[in-house]
Structure formats: structure tokens, C-alpha cells
Amino acid sequence: MNHLDPHRHVRGESQYLDDVPVQQGTLYAAVFESPLAHGVLRSLDFGAALAAPGVARVLTAADIPGINQIGGIVADEPLLAEGHVHFRGQPVALVLARTEAQAHAALKLIKVEIDPLPIITDPRVAAAQGEFIVPPRTFKIGDSAAAWAACAHVFEGVAENGGQEHLYIETQGAYAFPTEMGGVRMISSTQGPTAVQRHTAVVLGLGMHQVEVDVTRLGGGFGGKEDQATPWGALAALGAFITKKPVKLVLDRMADMRMTGKRHPYSSDFKIGFDADLKIVAYEVEFYQNAGAAADLSPAVMERTLFHATNAYFVPNVTATAFSCRTNLPPNTAFRGFGGPQGMFVIESALAKAAEELSVPTYELQRRNLLHEGDLFSYRQAAEMCHARQAWDTAVSEFDLAGIRVEVERFNQTNKLKKKGFAVMPICFGISFTKTPMNQTRALVHIYSDGSVGISTGAVEMGQGVNTKIAQVAAHTLGISINRIKIETTNTTRVANTSPSAASATADLNGKATEMACAALRERLLRHAETEYTLNYEGLEIQGEEVLAAGIPTETTWDKLVSSAFWKRVALTENAHYATPDLHFDATVNQGHPFAYHVYGTALTTVTVDCLRGTYTVDALQIAHDFGQSFNEIIDRGQIEGGAVQGIGWMTMEEVAYNDEGRLLSNSLNSYKIPDIYAAPKVLDVHFLDTPGHPKAILRSKAVGEPPLMYGIGTYFALRDAVRAFQGHTSLPFSAPMTPEKVLVSLYPEFVRASENTLLTSG
Amino acid sequence: MIEFYLNDQPVRTSEAPASALLDFVRYHEQLKGTKIGCREGDCGACTVLVGELNADGQTVNYQSMTSCLTPLGNAHGKHIVTVEGINAAGSQLTPVQQAIVDEGGSQCGFCTVGFVMSLTGHSLSSAPATEQSTIAAIDGNICRCTGYKSLERAATKLTAELEQRPAENALTWLSEKQFVPSYFANIPAQLAKLRPAAANAVAVPSATTAANTAHSNGSSAVSTSPNGHAQNQNDHGHANAAPFTNALLGGGTDLLVQRLEELREQPGVRLIFDQPGRRGIRHETTGRVVLGAATTASQLLESDLMRSLLPNLPQYLKLVSSTPIRNMGTVAGNFINGSPIGDLTIMFLALGASITLLDAVGTTRELSLPDLYLGYKKLAKAADEQVIEISFPAPLAGDFFHFEKVSKRTHLDIASVNSAAWLQVENGIIQAARVSAGGVGPVPLYLARTSEFLQGRELTAETVSAANEVMQSEISPISDVRGTSDYKRLLLRQLLWAHFLQLAPDLEFVNL
């Protein structure tokens, strides 16, 4: 079964935001942004801009009719700066002009006076000054402090990870239209239509019912359009509301990169202790999250870091504390993995550190500490239907870990200026929004009188194939061809109060709601068949568009049944509500059952480092992954491959760099590099583990969006392994991404003078 | 008036020649299949095919180009193909489209059309399709969703299909197999009709308003380098460039990144990409190789002459940008852009190149390439002077030439440091040497003292180490987004070693 959208994609017929035909009278918006990272806004002079050709209006915070606030978790983010500016790129004013070029030209005429204030870019500096977004959180099980004495080995260290630019190829944007009711209708490139709707309503001082948000599809999201599509939607809506004209706002690439937040960089301290059998006894970790200038989703991201602080390992004594640190950078935000990758990177660093000090292979420590069925996580949920060991054992045998070891060893003995390295990366990732109330959605299913079906849900299609999966669920449940099914746009007037398409949970939530709605419709139609055709309800089913009674075709078919039901005034529309059962979590004690289930897997990574140049290739990434019962292997494989390569990018070439003034240096595609076709692993094997799936997963097919990103972490450790093969005595810091620069400098540490090079602070 | 074919339709437009073809296609012609990803040639979402009538007048040579950097004027006389121009009637898919769909090579779909166009261009190419060449055709297309493996599988499938493509009447076969619609067969004749007009319409007043402000390179700029446009990011004290007074536009790969808005509004921009006499590579009896200024990187890569003289050139050029950008960016553009890390500039510095400059009154002069660079983006060239030719002494049979480049991403990236070396070695003695390096100073550096030092010395590890000492004193890298100065120093040392290990693999690499 193929993803349905690509048929249109390859013909260029899929409509994205900027492809929507422009209405006459449309004004184009451009955002005037703060040129300084922190300061007091003294004055704003846009007289010259207003007088420039084509300019219709320049809007500032003073023009906001409602409340100038778009903060989701914490109300700390104005739509347009007021009083202070807190990061470079913060929206200060909105220019509306007749053409896009005129709007952009007018930006250059705006003058702003800002009294500079001290700028913080480093989370540890922020922490030292008590600059926290929310109070710190600690997840605790056992008593780590008391456990150290009993440990045979204890290691401590620091691990740093960089940010990551989402680099959805379609930039952020929205197109808003005034409605006759005095409200706004808009098309938004957002993962969270309800978030855009809710915040726009607040900003405009309207009820949510006066703001309609419609999403056809996104040209990529990856978390970057979960919360951060909101400002652009709200700004376009503000323009349309005030001018009573359609307003279109599309960020150009560099504006998008400057103004939007990214994956959170973390700086973390770890301490890990083992018994004599190399079982982990205790783990303590402090995460300093670089949240940027406003909360955005940072508190939730930070929480997931704590959930995944022990990755796929059982640790009886854990004390994990996280600080969300306020800095003068754009607010960092959701990105595939949502804090999980950062948590896992630290414990993997701790294991690598221990292995290096103990002179044992890291995989030996990893293997001995993998989760068993029933093991408790620090948050007290047990690992149920745990496939951690199955994934590990399968990867090790399927991809021949022993053979890889021998080959790497042989290669490294015979090559002086090239070294291979390898690493194993097990993962365990919890599925569900950790904010329990968000695990709900609805599906609205219409069966039209001709037997065709239209489905609306809260799911946003952004390439992950959720629309195809939903159509498959509906076709499967109704017993009809997928060709009869259309997945409608995601629209707040059809499905209200939705959660964003995020947390890997979109297909589960919206698929389950669709399944419920379709099952109800199926039952209603079969009840109708029972009376209409005097059939025994027991044993009635629809398969292949035929109505079967005890497996035998009856005189009626899907078409006829639907038509007859319509004429008998049977309701052919169903709206189902799904809320994931059995979830609870008490954030005051950080205990509960936050996840519907966990996803497991193990990846082997093999790399080759060119020790003359510091460059490298990922030779192979071989993954055994717990899909459950996949019902769309093409889509699921695509998620694994794409997620893993994105993770490799994060760990290797993707380096978000700000300077001390909070100016983004990696501000375009020529200075921020994501993997190209040659950077993808030469071999990328995906083995579908034979697991039963989980009843809370849609058709027992487990969520697949985020988990594979974390396979990329293995590349960091494989590179480290190769570097150590060249220069074994080097004490390497745990610092990702492992750029060619870091590799070369690690290979030849004596070359680089001790002098600190302070120009670049890596995100 | 610019005249060309856009898909199956003739187009006549008086839009600005220096505006982007992308904007014309999307917002003037409302063909929305071509997407905007970055507007700097780094993502490939806007890739279109540009077909140029071959000299035979019977066939058309199609190349992929990023429409964001293609000056509209460069479409003159050509066949521009967007996805709408290859879509089959109904909902039928072309084999390229089908392969991508079948293999799951499209997820969010935003980059997909770019891949479709690049692969369609590859299908239309006369070169045999191999696994490698098919992948190379999409080396300028970035996808954030798939991780490329599904696209590789689609490429494999396509390569197999293209193996059946006959050498003769390939277009007929491609049309039968529905790679392209049947109207493609009529295009050569249509372009031939445009041809006489083409020669005149954009023909520019030869020596226009000569703004003789002399020696400030900012006032006259030739665009187009297949890389290097990011030097405006790397903090070599860049300031706003002076306004154009006499703009020359080549392939557009630098100027349309840096100054599109300005150029669009600029009257009298002169297009030189298709100017007669600006292309072609010839070996003169003097022993020099002469290139037309508008020779593209792709033409270098495909030139039999260049390959015979520099057998490894294709592999070096694969490190320069991407296929569509190489199809557009010119050698002279790379020189005149003045990027301290221009890949072609670095190669030609080591080849001992000179340039021929032509001024507004028709006077020409020769300038050795190192002498062109006075300081960061400061050129020893008058505003009205333009490069018309580039020449270098043809390397002799035993000569060694090698190019090295390291960047964050190996392909389609700007170098942290690059370097080229030309050496003549006889009996273990270096008879002559030219070494160049980029990214280690305000200009692309010809390492005169290092080169001189090497001359007459034995080819030994000690010589390399000592040469490195000289070299380190000759460079002045700064820390920027491409690396710290320490890294760049270390890296250049390594690249110097890489040259010598390439020449003499048995040399014992000495770490310091």
C-alpha cells in the first residue's frame, strides 16, 4: 500500500500554503524583527516605511485588539514586542503592502531604538543567574545518593549537545481572510490548527468560533510547526482583521531560520555507578536546557528529557533533574524526539565514559543493563510488552555484530590514516502526549449517498503518511476500497479542540477515532441490512464492498446498502471521540502511567573516518525496530529511514551556531548543512521485528514518527570509537555534533593551541 | 523582449532579465509545481530543465538548473520545462514519477518536484545512465523527510529502465515510454525559429554607459560561481557592496543569491551567459588552454580536453556545488565573485591561470590570476572591464595536479579550507610547484612563498613538514561559521599532506 499523497506530489499538484491562488486585494506581510537580542524598546519609527510605495499599514503591539500574548504553556511571549525585546529576530512590527517586494523593501526603512541589556546565550550562565522558565523538575526512584557507596565503579562527566534547525523545506506561513462575521478564516502551515486558532482568538479578542484554521498539508514540520506556526498565523490574522483584506505572510528562508526556535541544546552533568557485574546501580544527571527567551514548549520538552533519561536501561536508583534556562535566543521548541534524544545522549555518554575507563566495550555495558519485562522507569510506569532485549538480540544476530567487530579490528590494524568505528544504539521511547489531557481527538466521518466517504480528523498530514493510514483504517473497518475515501483538510470547524500532530501519536489517536466512527457506521448499516434484507445480524460483515452473511455474499453491496440506508433516513455521519485509556500522571510527584506503550529498537552503526582530513562516512546503519504489526511498510520504513538520517544529521554536520550577541551565524542553507544524498549511510537496513504490537496502537501498528531519530545518536559514538582507534590516548569531550572540525581537532589535539577560541559558541 | 518556450507554450515577456525565472514561473505563469525552498540554489526544490538547441539544430540539450538563480534573461531562446510540462494527460505518471511513488521516495512532497525534474533531465541526457550518474543527477536536491534511501531505490529502478534507452532517437523512445510528452519532438524546430531572434533580442548595447569609476570591483560585477556565494557570511569584513553601475550577469549563482532585488530593478543589466564567444575550451598551439569566460563548471567537467589534461578533474568538480549549479555557474563568475574559498579559483590559481580583460573601448589586457585579488572582494579590475577569456599552460604528461576540499558536508557545501597543488617532480626533486589555498585569508591565495620553497627540494616528508612551516606563515585564517582559525590552520596542513600523499603514497606522514 502506497502513501496516497505522493501521486499528487510527483506531479506538482499538491497544494501548499504558497500555492493557494491569491485573492484580489491581498496584502503581503513582512515582519520587522528585533536587531538586538536583549534590550528596552525605546522607540519605533516607521513613518518612512508607511510612506514607501505600496505600503498599506504598519502594525505594532498597540494595534492588537485583544491580548498581546501567544504563550502556550506559560504566558510569557508577546506576539509583537512591547517594552522589551528578548531575542534577535523577535517580531516587533508587521508591514502590510501591496506586493511582497514592497513589504520587504519597507522593512529597511523602519528605525528602532533599543537600550541594550546584557545578553545570555549559555544555559549554565542563565542557571547561575536564576533565569529559569519554570521551576526545575526532578524525577527520582530509589536513593542514588545512598547508592554510590555500594558501587564498584563510579564515573562522572559532562555532555553537551547542540541544537538542530528543523529545515522543513516549506517555510512558515499563513494566509488569512476576513470573514463577514467579523472574524478570520485562515490557511496555516501548522501542525497545531487549534493552537493557531486559540491564540489568534486571544490576540484578536474574539471567541474561538470566529477563527477558522484550515490545513491541507505541510511541506515538512518535524515539530517546528507545532507551536511556532502560531505567530505567523496570528500576525496574518491580525493584518486581515484590521485591514479587512486578505493578508498573506510567508517567511523567506533566512527569516525563518533567524526568527524561529530549534531543537534545544543541552549541557548536562552525569554521574553513573556500577556494581562489580557492571550493572548500573545509580544514575544522577542534571540537564541544563537552553530554552531561549520564552517558554514555548520547553517545559514539556524538558519533561520528556526526564522521562527518557535512562533510555532503554533499567536503573534502580535515579535522580534526574532538569533546568529550563532562559537565554536571549529565539524560543527553542519541539523537534522530533522532543527532549528524548537529549536525555538519551547523556546516558549513552555516561556509558561510553564508563566503558572507556573500564576498557570494556560500550555495548557490553549497554547489553547488561537493558530493560526487562516489568522493570520500573523512574516515573513508576513498568516496561510492559518490553522488546528491548529482543530488539538487541535480533540486531546483534541479524546484522552480525561479532563480524562487524572483527572487520573493524582488521581494518584498523591494516590502515593507518583511515579508521573504522562502530556503536550500538538501543532505544526505548514512550508514546503519548505526556500532558495526559492532550491524548484525545475526534473523527468526523461522512458516508455520502453514493457510497463515497469523507473523513475529517485532527491529524495534519506533513509527509508522515497519517492521511494514508487513516484512509486504510477506514477502508479496513468499513470493508470498502480505499479509492472511495477522501481525507479532508484539517479544519477547526469540523474537528474542534484538537491536539497538534505531534508526539508520534497522531495516527494512533486519529486512527482510533476513525476506527470508532467507522465501526459505528458499519454497525448501523448492518443493522439496517438486517431489517431491510431480513438477514441475521450475527455473521453479517462488509468485505471488498460486498455484504456477507456468514461469509456468503448477499444480494446487497456497499453501494446499494448505503443508498437504501439513506432513503430509510439512517444517519450516515458519525463523529467519534477517542481518548487514550488508562493514562495518568501526577506532575507534583512525577509518577504515574503517562505512556500508552513504549517502542523499542536497536541500531548498529559503522563509520569510517579519514584521519588525514577529519572527514567521515557512515558506512552502515542497521536497525531492528519494533513496529508492532505494520499495516503500511512503505510508510513505516520511510519514517525509520528519514528519522534516522535526521538523527545522524543532528549528531554530525548540523551545527546551529550563535555568537555572543545572540546572532545566528548558521543562518542559511549555505552555512547550515543537513544530510544530502551522499551523506546518507551507504547501507541502511531496517529489520521489522516480529512483535505483536500493542492494543493501544492503531491496528497494533506502533507509532513510528519520533523513535528512529534516536538511532542517529549511534553515529556520534561510532565516530568517537574511530577517533579513539587513531589516537587512543585522547580524552575526548562528549560534545555533539561531531563535525569534521571536531573530528580533526580530536585526531590532532596537540596542534590546536590551548587558547580558547571564543568567536563561536555552538548553539 | 525575452522569448522562449515554457513547456509547450511560446512566451514573450518584457519582465526584467535579471529577475528570477522561479518568480516568473510561479507568480507570472502561475505554475505552482515548482517550489521555493531557499532561493540560494542549496535545496533544489525549484529545479527546472533548461533546454538549449544543439549546434545541429535538430536536438536539444537539457540541463537541470535551479530556477531561483536562473536569470529570466538566460531563458531567452530556450526551452524551459517545469513539472507541468512533463506531466502526462489524466493522472498517468511518467516512469520517473512512478518510480518515486513506488519506492516511497516522496513524503511531505515539497522537494519532490525538484527530484522529478532532475531525474527527468537525467533521462533526457545523452550520457549512459549508471547507478552513479543517476544519483549524481539528484546531488543538488535536498530532502528532509526520506533520508534518501527510497530515492536511491527509485534511482536504481530508473537506471535499469534507462539502460534500454537507445542511443539513436532517444527522444522518440523517451516519448513512447512517457518520460516526456510528445510535444518535445517539436521543440527543436520551435527553438530553431527563435534562434535568429534570440541572437538579437537580448543582444546588449556593446559598450554601454561606461561608468569609469575604475578599480572598484563593487561597481561592476560578474556573477556566477558554482560555489562560494557564502563568503558574504564568513565575516571577512564584508560591507554593503557598492551599487551596480555596469552590471554583468552570467549564470546568476552568486548575484541572484546576494542581490536579486537590486538587480531586478537595475536597468541595463548585461547578460553574458549566452553571449557568443564566451564559451568553449581550446588547446592553442602555444601550449596554453583557453576557456571562454562563461564556460560553466559542467562544461569543464564534461570537456574531453580538460579530462585528458587533468584526468582527476571530474572527481574534483564533483566536490564543487551540485549538478544544477555547475550547469549554471561560470569559471569567470567564480573568479570575479572573489570569494576567498572559490573552488574553481583555487584550482586555477594552481594551474597558473591568467585572465583576459576587455574594457568598454575594446582594449584587452592579460592579468595573472593571483594579481586579480587586492583584498577581500577587492579586484584589480576597472568597473568597465570584463573577463572574456581564461588561459593556463597545459599541464605536461608527467605533471601532478591535485585538488582537496573539506567542508562540513562533503558535497554541495562551501569549503572550510580548499587547496590545489601543481607539481613537477623529476628524480625525486620538485622542479616546479604552484600551491593555492582558500578559506585561509581574505582572498583566494596563491601560496607564492610555499611554492617557491618547494622548488628544487627533495620529495620527502621533511620537505612537506618544512613547507608547512612556510605555509603557516603565509596564511591568516579567521574564525567564522566554517571553522575556527586553529582548525583551518590544522586542516590546511593536512591538505598539504594530502597533496603529497596523493603524489607519493609512500611518504611517511609526520604528525607535526
Distance of CA B254 to the CA centre of its chain: 10
Whether residue B211 is predicted with pLDDT greater than 50 in this model: the reply is no
Sorting pLDDT into bands at 50, 70 and 90, what band is B512? low
Q: Are the Cβ atoms of B142 and A669 closer than 8 angstroms?
A: yes
A3 touches chain B (CB under 8 A): yes
- How far CA A79 is from CA of A183, A238, A325, B203, B367, in Å, comes to 18, 10, 21, 51, 56
Do A271 and A406 lie in a common domain?
A: yes
Residues A247 and A394 in one domain: no
Interface check A170 vs B, CB under 8 A: yes
What is residue B295's predicted lDDT score, i.e. its pLDDT? 97
Do A556 and A408 lie in a common domain? no
Cβ–Cβ of A751/B486 closer than 8 Å? yes
- Per the structure, how many domains does chain A have? 3
Residue B144 has its nearest CB partner, among A220, A613, A684, at A220
Give the integer Cα–Cα distance in Å for B454 and B428: 12
Counted across chains A and B, CB pairs separated by less than 8 A come out at: 268
Same domain, residue pair B173 and B299: no
Question: Nearest-CA distance from A292 to chain B in Å?
Answer: 21
Q: For chain A, how long is the longest CA-to-CA vector?
A: 89
d(CA B48, CA A690): 44
| Positive or negative torsion for Cα A555, A558, A561, A567 | negative
Q: B108 and A220 in contact by Cβ < 8 A? A: yes
Q: Output the nine-digit C-alpha cell for A229.
A: 506556526
Task: With beta carbons less than 8 A apart as the criterion, state whether B202 and B388 touch.
Answer: no
Q: Where a domain ends, among B202, B230, B247?
A: B202
Does A462 contact B108 at a Cβ distance shorter than 8 Å?
Answer: yes
Nearest chain A alpha carbon to B482: A671
Q: What's the pLDDT score for residue A271?
A: 98
Residue A621 forms contact with B (CB below 8 Å): no
Q: Is residue B223 part of a domain?
A: no
Q: A544, A579, A614 — which closes off a domain?
A: A579
All residues of chain B having their beta carbon less than 8 Å from the beta carbon of residue A170 are 35, 37, 108, 110
What pLDDT digit, counting tens, does each position of A314-367 carry? 999 999 999 999 999 999 999 999 999 999 999 999 999 999 999 999 999 999
Among A516, A550, A579, the domain boundary falls at: A579
Residues 67-106 of A with CB under 8 A from B: 101, 104-105
Q: pLDDT tens digits for B295-339?
A: 999 999 999 999 999 999 999 999 999 999 999 999 999 999 999
Is the separation of the CB atoms in A656 and A649 below 8 Å? no
Asked if the structure places residue B220 within a domain, the reply is: no
Residue B80 distance to chain A (closest CA, Å): 16
CA B191 to the chain's CA centroid: 25
Half-sphere exposure of A591 (CA within 13 A, CB side): 6
- CB contacts, 8 Å: B507 with chain A: none
Shortest CA distance from A677: residue in chain B? B148
Report residue A481: phi and psi, to 5°. -70, 145
Q: Do B104 and A416 touch (CB under 8 A)?
A: no
pLDDT score of B233 more than 80: no
Domain match, A358 and A420 both: yes
Q: Of B202, B229, B253, which marks where a domain is finished?
A: B202
Cis peptide preceding A118, ω within 30 of 0: no
Of A219, A243, A259, which residue is a domain's last? A259
Contact status of A460 with chain B (Cβ, < 8 Å): no
Please check whether residues A198 and A246 belong to one and the same domain: yes
Are A279 and A253 members of one domain?
A: no
Would you call A12 and B104 a contact, using CB atoms and an 8 Å cutoff? no
Q: What is the pLDDT of residues B380-439, one digit of tens each?
A: 999 899 999 999 999 999 999 999 999 999 999 999 999 999 999 999 999 999 999 999
Q: Any idea what the CATH number is for the domain that residue A642 is in? A: 3.30.365.10
Contact B83 A11 (CB under 8 A): yes
CB–CB of A389/A559 below 8 Å? Answer: no
In this structure, what CATH number is given to the domain that contains residue B136?
Answer: 3.10.20.30
Residues of B in contact with A105 (CB under 8 A): 261
A124 within some domain: no
Residue B3: strand pairing partners? B12
A698 to A428, A479, A599, A629: CA distances (angstroms): 19, 17, 14, 9
pLDDT of residue B206 exceeding 50, the answer is no
Query: Cell triple for residue A198?
Result: 486559540
The set of residues, in sequence order, having a beta carbon less than 8 Å from that of A635 and lying 6+ positions away, is: A3, A464, A465, A468, A469, B104
Nearest residue, CB atoms, B87 vs list A11, A222, A671: A11
Q: How far does A53 lie from chain B, in Å, by closest CA? A: 14
Inform me whether the C-beta atom of residue A641 falls under 8 Å from chain B C-beta atoms. yes
Give chain A's radius of gyration (CA, Å): 27
To test the contact with chain A by mutation, choose from B93, B118, B149, B509 the residue with the greatest count of A C-beta atoms within 10 A, namely B149
> Is residue A671 within 8 angstroms of chain B, CB to CB?
yes
Strands A683-688 and A317-326: unpaired
Q: Does any domain span residue B228?
A: no
Written as one string, the DSSP assignment of A315-340 is -SEEEEEEEEEE-SSPPP---TTTTH
Q: Tell whether A66 lies on the interface with B, counting CB pairs under 8 A.
A: no
Per-residue pLDDT at B230: 36
Asked if A349 and A372 sit in the same domain, the reply is: yes
Interface contact B487-A760, CB threshold 8 A: no
- One domain, residues B289 and B178: no
Are residues A746 and A730 in contact, defined by beta-carbon separation less than 8 angstroms? yes
Instruction: Please judge whether A637 and B233 are an interchain contact, meaning their C-beta atoms are less than 8 angstroms apart.
Output: no
Q: With respect to residue A186, please indicate whether it lies within any of the assigned structural domains.
A: yes
Question: Is A141 a domain residue?
Answer: no
* A219 shares its domain with A307: no
How far is it, in rounded angstroms, from Cα A240 to Cα A34? 23
Domain co-membership, A416 together with A563: no
Q: What is the DSSP-derived secondary structure letter of residue B458? A: B
In a domain, B253, yes or no: no
Q: What is the dihedral of CA A406, A412, A418, A419, to 10 degrees?
A: 70
Does A356 fall in a domain? yes
First CA to last CA distance, chain B: 62
Domain of A77, CATH number, reads 3.90.1170.50
Best residue of A3, A10, A607, A669 to probe chain B, by most B CBs closer than 10 Å: A10
- CB contact under 8 Å between A680 and B149, yes or no, is yes
Q: What is the pLDDT of residue B224?
A: 42
Q: What pLDDT score does B160 carry?
A: 97
Which residue blocks in B177-259 are alpha helix, DSSP H? 187-201, 255-258
Do A522 and A603 fall within a single domain? no
Q: Do A676 and B151 touch (CB under 8 A)?
A: no
Give the HSE-up count for residue B372: Cα atoms under 13 Å, Cβ half-sphere: 34
* Exposed/middle/buried for residue B505 (C-beta within 10 Å: 0-12, 13-18, 19+): exposed
Contact B411 A3 (CB under 8 A): no
**Catalytic site positions of A:** 706
Centre a 10 Å sphere on the Cβ of residue A665 and count the other Cβ atoms it contains: 22
- Quick check: is B244 in a domain? no
Angle, in degrees to the nearest 10, between helices A193-204 and A230-243: 40
CATH code of the domain in which B297 resides: 3.30.465.10
Nearest alpha carbon to residue A673 among A760, A606, A740: A740
Determine the residue among B405, B481, B489, B506 to mutate to test chain A binding: the one whose Cβ has the most chain A Cβ atoms within 10 Å: B481
Summarize pLDDT for B114-158 with one digit per residue, the tens.
Answer: 999 999 999 999 889 999 999 999 999 999 999 999 999 999 999
Residue A155 lies in a domain: no
Chain B neighbors of A755, CB-CB under 8 A: 486
Contacts by residues A249-252 (CB-CB < 8 Å, ≥ 24 positions apart): A249/A28, A249/A29, A249/A30, A249/A31, A249/A94, A249/A173, A249/A174, A249/A175, A250/A17, A250/A18, A250/A100, A250/A171, A250/A172, A250/A173, A251/A31, A251/A171, A251/A172, A251/A173, A252/A171, A252/B39
Residues from chain A contacting residue B102 (CB–CB below 8 Å): 2
The tally of domains found in chain B comes to: 2
Q: b/e string for B310-343 if b means 16 or more Cβ within 10 A?
A: beebeebbbbbbbbbbbbbbbbbbbbbbbbbbbb
Of B146, B169, B202, which residue sits at a domain end? B202
State whether A731 and A706 are in the same domain.
yes
Q: Once rounded to an integer, what is the mean pLDDT over residues B221-225?
A: 42
| Residue B217 domain flag | no
Q: Which residues pair with A85 in a beta bridge?
A: A39
Q: Would an 8 Å CB–CB cutoff place A711 in contact with chain B?
A: no
Test mutation, B66, B144, B480, B499, chain A, max A CBs within 10 A: B144
DSSP assignment of A469-507, as one string? HHHHHHHHHHTS-GGGEEEPPEETTTS-SPPPS-TT-HH
B143: which chain A residues are within 8 Å (Cβ-Cβ)?
A: 169
Q: Are residues B288 and B191 in the same domain?
A: no
pLDDT score recorded for residue B265 = 84
Residue A140 within any structural domain of the chain: no
pLDDT of B90 higher than 80: yes
Has residue A131 been placed in a domain?
no
Nearest Cβ partner of B408 from A7, A222, A673? A673
Is B421:B499 a contact under the CB 8 Å cutoff? Answer: yes
Query: What 8-state DSSP symbol labels residue B139?
Result: T
The answer to whether B107 contacts A614, with C-beta atoms less than 8 Å apart, is no
Q: Looking at chain B, which residue has its C-alpha nearest residue A663?
A: B481
In the block, which residue shows the cell 607519493?
B504
First-to-last alpha carbon distance for chain A, in angstroms, is 41
Ramachandran angles phi, psi of A367, nearest 5°:
-60, -45
In this structure, what C-alpha cell is assigned to residue A152?
A: 564498584
Instruction: Compare CB distances from B498 to A613, A666, A744 and report the shortest one's residue.
Output: A613
Over the stretch A248-286, which tens digit does the pLDDT of each residue have? 999 999 999 999 999 999 999 999 999 999 999 999 999
Residue among A13, A219, A677 minimizing CB distance to B108: A219
Name the DSSP letter for residue B71: B
Q: Quick one: pLDDT at residue B266?
A: 83
Range of the domain at A630: 266-433+590-747
Residue B270 pLDDT: 87
Report CA torsion sign: B371, B372, B375, B380. Answer: positive
C-alpha cell at A749: 589535539
Cα within 13 Å of Cα(A15), Cβ side:
11
All three cell numbers of A235: 500576525
Mean pLDDT by 10 residues, chain A (763 residues): 84 98 98 98 98 98 98 97 98 98 97 98 98 98 97 98 98 98 97 98 98 98 98 98 98 98 98 98 98 98 98 98 98 98 98 96 98 98 98 98 98 97 98 98 98 98 97 98 97 98 97 98 97 95 97 95 98 98 97 98 98 98 98 98 98 98 97 98 98 97 98 98 87 95 94 48 37
| A108 shares contact with chain B (CB less than 8 Å) | no
Q: What is the pLDDT of residue B244?
A: 66
Distances from the Cα of A58 to the Cαs of A31, A45, A106, A234, A544, in angstroms? 10, 10, 9, 15, 58
Domain that includes residue B429, residue range: 281-503
Both A82 and A201 in a single domain? yes
Query: CA-nearest residue of chain A to B412?
Result: A676
B143, B485, B497: residue with CB nearest A612:
B497
Instruction: Identify whether A756 is part of a domain.
Output: no
